[in-house]
């Protein structure tokens, strides 16, 4: 069973009815057949939905993921994870050289298991500093994309960074945990650059049989466009529980521009056009919808750093001490 995205469909239905009225008022008596055909086409198009079992929960994401993503920035990740998890095991927190600036920039990821939630968690850190952002942007724009597991092509920088982290210990940790706790869910997430690595990781884990579509949940904050349309289609078929969360006018999810070098978002977008203090959000289930964050014509980098009231990078670098809102 699928869920129809009622908000988008109703908007298009209203538009079709207006066109129908205008045509009838001008004597186009066959227009109702055209309008009905158009409406049916729109309804079918809008059925780019997700299974009913995959339902976004503000409470679930708000409780765990800002702190998980802050922990990827922390010198001591346990200081952050202690804030929301009680019975858990932290495995390796990996930091690797991930670009061509001779180690000036690093990429990071960590793995842990929460026994209370019966979940194995892997999370990836976002872009760290302006230099890494420049190198990352340059490589995404001007280097060839690379083929990815399951199908499609993705930004070379994202794939290279994930592979380095995976082979530096995440592979061993995750295989051990999956073998030890085969009935646990797998949560995958990341902020910014980490969001793209989380998308790659999700496709990889399911394509290689390490996880299944029914036991993996993916959550990202401020994820840039990660790959091409074929990658997005593959992701949507493999990862039904997949949510790209966007805070207000965050600019990073709009980089690269849609279609530039073939880049295209996967589903599903959760957009908070506010300060994220309450569960006031809009869900757009299309890959590229004009009804969520793309409805803005202006964007801000400041909205990229703060999600659910937490400046994750700064809070994490302080080992999650002090006020997370500062």
At 102-124, the pLDDT tens digits run: 556 789 999 999 999 999 999 99
What's the confidence (pLDDT) of residue 2?
32
Give tens-digit pLDDT for 13-34: 444 344 344 444 445 444 444 4
> Contact, 84 vs 119, CB < 8 A?
no
Rounded Cα distance, 285 and 3, in Å: 9
Rounded Cα distance, 114 and 57, in Å: 19
Domains of the chain plus CATH, in order, are: 1-47 (no CATH), 53-317 (3.40.50.1820)
What's the confidence (pLDDT) of residue 212?
97
Global pTM value? 0.83
Rounded Cα distance, 110 and 125, in Å: 9
Tokens of 6: 């009622």
Give tens-digit pLDDT for 215-259: 999 999 999 999 999 999 999 999 999 999 999 999 999 988 888
What's the confidence (pLDDT) of residue 311?
97
pLDDT along the chain (326 residues), means of 10: 40 42 44 45 43 78 98 97 98 87 77 98 82 53 80 93 96 97 98 96 97 97 96 98 97 89 95 97 96 89 94 96 96
Q: How far is CA 263 from CA 227, 251, 255, in A?
A: 5, 15, 9
Rounded Cα distance, 92 and 112, in Å: 8
Decide the pairing of beta strands 185-191 and 216-221: parallel
């Amino acid at each position: 069973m699928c869920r129809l995205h009622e908000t988008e469909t109703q908007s298009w239905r209203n538009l079709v009815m207006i066109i129908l009225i205008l045509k009838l008022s001008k004597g186009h008596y066959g227009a109702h057949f055209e309008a009905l055909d158009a409406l049916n086409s729109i309804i079918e198009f809008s059925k780019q939905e997700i299974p009913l079992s995959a339902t976004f929960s503000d409470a679930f994401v708000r409780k765990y993921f800002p702190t998980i993503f802050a922990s990827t920035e922390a010198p001591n990740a346990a200081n952050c994870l202690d804030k929301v998890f009680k019975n858990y095991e932290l495995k390796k927190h990996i930091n690797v050289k991930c670009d061509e600036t001779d180690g000036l920039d690093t990429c990071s990821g960590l793995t842990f298991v929460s026994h209370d939630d019966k979940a194995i968690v892997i999370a990836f850190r976002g872009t760290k500093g302006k230099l890494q952002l420049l190198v990352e942007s340059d490589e995404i724009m001007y280097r060839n994309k690379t083929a990815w597991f399951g199908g499609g092509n993705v930004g070379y920088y994202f794939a290279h960074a994930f592979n380095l982290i995976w082979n530096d210990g995440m592979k061993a940790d995750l295989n051990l945990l999956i073998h030890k706790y085969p009935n646990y869910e797998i949560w995958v997430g990341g902020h910014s650059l980490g969001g793209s690595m989380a998308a790659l990781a999700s496709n990889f884990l399911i394509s290689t049989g390490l996880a299944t579509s029914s036991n993996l949940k993916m959550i990202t904050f401020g994820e840039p466009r990660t790959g091409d349309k074929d990658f997005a289609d593959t992701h949507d078929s493999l990862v039904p529980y997949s949510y790209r969360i966007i805070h207000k006018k965050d600019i990073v999810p709009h980089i690269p521009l849609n279609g530039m070098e073939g880049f295209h978002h996967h589903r599903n977008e959760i957009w908070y056009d506010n300060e994220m203090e309450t569960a006031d959000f809009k869900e757009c289930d299309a890959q590229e919808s004009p009804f969520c964050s793309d409805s803005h014509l202006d964007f801000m980098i400041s909205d990229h750093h703060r999600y659910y009231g937490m400046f994750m990078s700064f809070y994490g670098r302080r080992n999650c001490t002090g006020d997370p809102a500062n």
